[in-house]
Each structure stands twice: as structure tokens, then as C-alpha cells.
Amino acid sequence: MNVSVLRDLLPAAATEYEKASNLHDSGFVTEAGLRLGRAVEAALYSIARDLDVSLTDKVIEDIENIRKALAAKSVVIMRKAGDANQVRSLSDVSKSLSEAIASLIEDDNLRMGAPSTEPRRIDALLRDLLQVLENADTKAKLNRQQSVLMAIRVARNKAAHADPSGYPRELSEEEYQGLFSAVKEFLAALVNISIGVRASKQSCTPENA
């Protein structure tokens, strides 16, 4: 991985990548794994912005609020399974749904949705990038990176989350090196795409028209 090229094209990703190397050299292997995951995210976010791919999904806010309320009600019902009154409380959600339906029928702006506050999953961003890339060879190369991205996500998630069983969890040196190799391969593919995007934009500027 040519870090200077990465720094020029995808500076946020380069920062994360370099911090990962520094953490690893200092013996913080799990923390370094987290930074590698962030490098991949930063690179995908940057290219998505360059290609006008939305970084967030759109949601219909009323329906999203109802979904969250329904999920919360479900938890309460399961916790208090012996209390039938908890089931009756679902009528509040039903009322909210009826009101949302009426609003959506009347207002087409509401039906267009609004950006979610949560960033999109990186695998979803990758799929969208595959849709907008025009060069068949570039698209094929990025498509082959889907399995690499999956491996990166698995290792990154292990670094990010505690073991549900209660045992200590750290990335081993072997796992880190596997993640490091996958990230280098993935970032190299994104650097090539970024070069192509930059060249395409330069060719479309007025002085080059």
C-alpha cells in the first residue's frame, strides 16, 4: 500500500491506516484492528461522496418511529408475559399507525422520506457503488472485493465487540495480519477507483471540454 498516494486521494482513510500501524507497533493489536476497519469505512464514504452515492438511507419518519415503538412494546410484552394488559397497549401503536397513514395519504412530501441519522452499512455502500460505476473492468474488480470486505467486517466486529459469553476477547496477531492484508487489498482497489473518478471529473471541467 502506497500510503502517500492513499493520503493524497483518501486522506481520512490514510490517517486511520497510519494510526493502525502505530497502535500495532505499540502492542495494541485489537485497537489497531478497529482503526483498520475505520480506514475502510472512511475510504468508502469518500468515494461515495465523490460519486454522489447517499451515505444514509431514507426513511419515512412516522413509520420509523412506529417501528421503534413497536420494538419497545415487544420487549415489554416478553418481559411481562403474564400480564395481558401489556398486549392491549399495542393499541397505542395502532392508533399512531392510523394517523401516519392519513398523513402520508395527504402529503406526498412525507412519502418521499428523509435521510436517516444513521450511516449506511458499508456493504450496502459497496453495492451502490457497483451500480453507479460505468467502467466494466473497474466494476468487475470492485465486485471481486465483496468477499474481502466480508472478511474485514468479521475481523473488525471481533475487535469492536466484547464476547457475549463473558470471556475476554482480543484480536490475535495472526487475525490482525489477516485483517491487515485484506484491508491493504481493499484500499488498493478503492485507490484505483478514486484515481479513475478524479480523472473523469478533470476531463469534464470547462478547460478540458
The pLDDT, as a whole number, for residue 111 is 84
Cβ atoms of residues 205 and 185 within 8 Å: no
| Mean pLDDT over each residue of the chain, to the nearest integer | 89
113 — alpha (psi -120 to 50), left (phi > 0) or beta? left
DSSP annotation of 163 reads -
pLDDT above 80: residue 198? no
Which structural domains are found in the chain, ordered by start?
Answer: 3-55+120-208 (1.20.120.330), 58-115 (no CATH)
- Rounded to an integer, the average pLDDT of 181-186 is 95
Contact 48, 194 (CB under 8 A): no
Percent of the chain with pLDDT over 90: 44
- Tens of pLDDT, residue by residue over 23-36, are 999 999 999 999 99
Confidence class of residue 148 from pLDDT cuts 50, 70 and 90?
Answer: very high
pLDDT class for 42, splitting at 50, 70, 90? very high
